[in-house]
Amino acid sequence: METGNGSSVTEFILLGFTDVPELQIFLFALFSVFYMITLMGNFTIIMLAISDPHLHSPMYFFLTNLSSLDICYSSVTVPKLLASFVSESKTITFQGCITQLHFFHFFGSAEAIILSVMSYDRYVAICSPLHYSIVMNRKLCILLALSSWITGFLYSMVHTSLTAKLPFCKSNKISHFYCDIKPLLKLACTNTQLNEHLLNIVTGFVALGSFSLILTSYAYIGSSILKMRSVHGRQKAISTCASHLTVVLFYHGTAIFTYLKPSSENSLEQDKISAILFTVLTPTLNPIIYTLRNKEVKASFRRTMFKKLS
C-alpha cells in the first residue's frame, strides 16, 4: 500500500530514547514529574497574568504567550515519549508523524521569535522608560505576538510540506522519540540535499536571526544598566533581564546545536539528548526561572492564594 506521496511506508516505528527496561521505568517517572511541573507551572503563570490587574502589562502579556507555547510544544512530544516507556507499541502513522512534525516546529519556532520580542520589550523598558507605554502599546503588543505565531506556522509549513512529499522506502524505523526532520531525511530514498540546505537556511534565519536580535537588545540594555546611578534600579533591571537571558541561552543553545551543527554518525544520538533539553527541561524550567526571580509574580501568587484561603 502506498501513501499519497508515493511512499510505501504507511507508519513509522519510533525507536525512542532507550530500550533498557530499568532505565525506561526511571525515565518514565522522571519525565512524568517534569511534564506535570510544565503544565502546572505554565498554567499558573497564564492564570496569574490574566486574573491579576498588577500583571496587565506587555511583559506579562508576552510571558503568557511563552507559557502557552511551552505547554503546546511539550505536549506535542512528551505524551508520546511517556507512552513509549510503558507500551509495546512504538508505531505512529505517516499522517500522525507529519502532523507531529508540523506542530513541533510551529510551536518551537514561534517560541524562538517570542523570546526575541520579549528582549525588545525589555530593551524599550530599560533604555527608553519614559516612552515605554507609548511604544509598547496594546496594538503593537498584539501585532508582535500574532506575528510570532504566524511566522512559526509559516516556517513549519515549509519544512512539513517538503518532508511530506519525500518517498520513504529504505526503512520505517525512526531513530528518535518523536518525528523530526533530520531522522526522517535519513529514511528518504531520494536526494534530500534541497531539504537539508533549506533546513540550514530557514532555521539559521529564524534561530540565528532571533538570537542576534536578542544579543543586540541586551548589548544596549547592558550599556544602559552600567549608566544607571540608582543601585536599586540597576539591581531591578538585572534581576528582570537575568531570568529572560537564562531562558534564551538554554533554549537557543540547544536548538542551534541540534539543527545547525554538521551531521555525523553520532549526530542522531546527540540530537536525542539535546531534544530532551528543549522538549522536556526548558518548558519545565521556564516557569520556575520566571517565578523564582520575579517579585511581581511571587507577590501575585501570594495574593491569589490569600484570596482563596480567606
Which CATH number goes with the domain that contains 203? Answer: 1.20.1070.10
Burial zone of 301 (CB within 10 Å; 0-12 exposed, 13-18 middle, 19+ buried)? middle
**253 part of a folded domain:** yes
Q: Are 94 and 184 in contact (CB under 8 A)?
A: no
Q: Which three cell numbers stand for residue 228?
A: 544607571
**2 part of a folded domain:** no
**90 part of a folded domain:** yes
**1 part of a folded domain:** no
How many CA atoms are closer than 13 Å to the CA of 275, on its beta-carbon side? 25
**255 part of a folded domain:** yes
Q: pLDDT tens, position by position, for the chain (310 residues)?
A: 445 455 567 899 998 887 888 889 999 999 999 999 999 999 999 999 998 888 899 999 999 999 999 999 999 999 999 998 988 888 999 999 999 999 999 999 999 999 999 999 999 999 999 999 999 999 999 999 999 999 999 999 999 999 999 998 878 898 889 999 888 988 998 888 888 888 888 888 888 889 899 999 999 998 888 888 877 778 877 877 887 888 888 888 887 777 776 665 556 677 788 888 888 888 998 888 877 667 777 777 778 777 766 6
**4 part of a folded domain:** no
**50 part of a folded domain:** yes
* Single pTM value for the model: 0.89
**6 part of a folded domain:** no
Could you list the residue range(s) of the whole structural domain that residue 249 is in? 11-309
Number of domains composing the chain: 1
